Amino acid sequence: MSDVPDRASPFRLWKHLPWGIVVLLALACGGLLQLVATLRAQNALLRDQQALLEIELRSTRQQLEAERILSRHETDALRAARPSN
């Protein structure tokens, strides 16, 4: 038996280095794909929110215009009912 401890040779580590790099790249790609999916879902959500806000804005503008028209009609009716001097 030898008194020298059995350690991994540095040449053995170099032999497995390419596979380690492949594993790291695969994990990085998986993480990036997950990030892309998350960002696409967030983008779709933001587009839906924007569409709803545009509908709400349009509705509010129409309501304001309707109130202006009613106010104008009421003002015209009051002027017509007032006796002239």
- Domain parsing of the chain, residue ranges: 30-79
Question: What does pTM read for this prediction?
Answer: 0.61
Measure the CA dihedral 51/57/60/62, to 10°. -90
**Per-residue pLDDT, 50:** 98
- Measured between alpha carbons, how far is 32 from 40 in angstroms, rounded to an integer? 12
Q: Which tens digit of pLDDT belongs to each residue from 43-61?
A: 999 999 999 999 999 999 9
What is the model's pLDDT at position 16? 87
